[in-house]
Amino acid sequence: MLTDTKLRKSLGKRREKVEILSDAHGLNVRLSAAGAVTFFYRYRWAGKPAQITLGEYPALSLSDARDRRQLFRKWLTEGVDPRQQIKIEKKNKTEALTVDEAYCYWEEYYCRPEGLVGLSSNRKCYEKHIKPALGNVVVDQTDKGNWISVFDTMGRTVMAGEMLSIMKRAFRFCSNRGVISNNPLESLRRSDVGTSPAYQDRKLSDSEIKIIWEELDTLPLPKQIIVRFLLLTGCRTAEIRKARWEWFDLKEKTWTVPAEEYKTGKTIRRALGDVPASMMKSLKELTGSDLVLSKLNSRTRIPQPLNQAQVSEYAQFISNRTGLAHWTLHDMRRTVATRLSELGAPPHVIEKLLGHQMGGVMARYNLHDYIDDQRHWLKVWHDHLEKVVGRPLIKS
């Protein structure tokens, strides 16, 4: 029977010839003339003697060598040749995906074919928070603790919860496809690492809308266009921030956001109404870019969309100047939807104006965009806004 004491005394001891020491159940060590101590396992397969080298002591401990022997014996009782199983293990280790490779696999085989619009923003978040810490680590070699440590560095934030959700989806897809053995995040919940986005119910009153509209007259043109367009249409901030002139048919007074730029991955056409169409016509005469609103990249000097973080501050900027209670640009979207409902607009028309996909059976079978109904209720909304503001929405 082998012992650690016996192995330590044999290690590095020169001898005239190779010696073999046995443990039990096929586990042995080879003592070389130069003093190396190597574990190997002997067994019989198909009536013939076979042998597998396990590793050198002390890099491989006696305890680990015995564990390995027990695994080999288990394989033998199951009718599996340990030599073949070891080859499979080595192949799996060689082909095992790192976190970064698994994330790319998810993007290539799921996100892009499905047309997920959040691809670029998700990748930016991944490269900022996950890739530096675990990108080069094999997924199957990570555990829950490794991931919790990464999420903890992000603080108990909404972003930590979002990144957990993204990585869980990526690993679940990879696991289902058999390219990783397990999903180390499967049992983690958003509440374990971060917080959920807070539910918002802020909507602007008529008096607040009047104050904002009047304050816009004193602000630079980009701020005016974005805030007014949001209030007139109820669209998402990113839709006007990234808008291109090719999306607009100013003659027909419609605008169409292509699938690759839209949150739902579907092309959506909406009515503009007279006021936004007139505003866009005036703006187009002043711009020389394909983008409706743009700024020059400081390095390339190429026009690019306005920065999301900067645009998000427009509401606070107006509040600081007017003393209004805190509000966000997204609150305008909620305000438009609520006011349209109060004015009598049917729910399905409001959904179309907001750019939402229809729910249930209607999403699959009713592809009508209700463009004439959209035009009608936008006019009702714009007439209401004129009464609130107390003057024409477009200066003559």
Do residues 82 and 142 both lie within one domain? Answer: no
End-to-end CA distance of the chain: 101
Domain boundaries, position 163: 99-193
44 is catalytic: no
Give the separation between CA 226 and CA 318, rounded to whole angstroms: 13
Same domain? 366 vs 231: yes
Active-site annotation holder among 69, 168, 228, 333: 333
Task: Please identify which of the residues 68, 129, 228, 236 carries the catalytic annotation.
Answer: 236
Based on the structure, what is the number of domains in the chain?
A: 3
282 and 323, same structural domain?
A: yes
368 is catalytic: no
Answer yes or no: 330 catalytic: yes
224 shares its domain with 125: no
Residue 129 lies in a domain: yes
Per residue in 161-197, pLDDT (tens digit) is 999 999 999 999 998 888 888 889 989 998 898 887 6
Claim to verify: residue 84 and residue 175 sit in the same structural domain: no
- Give a yes or no: residue 200 inside a domain: no
Q: CATH number for the domain including 356? A: 1.10.443.10
Kindly state whether residues 372 and 259 are assigned to the same domain.
yes
Q: Strands across the sheet with 248-249, in order?
A: 248-249, 254-257, 268-271
Domain assignment of residue 258, yes or no: yes
User: Helix 221-233 crosses helix 314-322 at what angle (to 10 degrees)?
Assistant: 100
Q: Are residues 71 and 179 in the same domain?
A: no
Catalytic residue among 66, 356, 379, 384: 356
Candidates 6, 83, 131, 330; catalytic one: 330
- The reported pLDDT for the residue numbered 371 is 92
Whether residues 247 and 369 share a domain: the answer is yes
387 is catalytic: no
**Tens digits of residue pLDDT in 327-378:** 999 999 999 999 999 999 999 999 999 988 766 555 554 557 889 999 999 9
Q: Within a domain: residue 268?
A: yes
In a domain, 306, yes or no: yes
Within a domain: 395: no
What's 152's domain CATH number? 1.10.150.130
In this structure, the answer to whether residues 179 and 230 fall within a common structural domain is: no
Q: Is residue 198 part of a domain?
A: no
pLDDT of residue 365: 47
- The chain-wide mean pLDDT, for the chain, equals 88
Catalytic residue among 263, 266, 348, 384: 263
Residues of the chain with pLDDT under 70: 91-95, 117, 197-199, 262-265, 296-298, 300-301, 358-367, 396
Domain boundary among 43, 77, 94: 94
User: Does residue 174 sit in the same domain as residue 270?
Assistant: no
Domain assignment of residue 35, yes or no: yes
* Cα distance between residue 164 and residue 156, in whole Å: 12
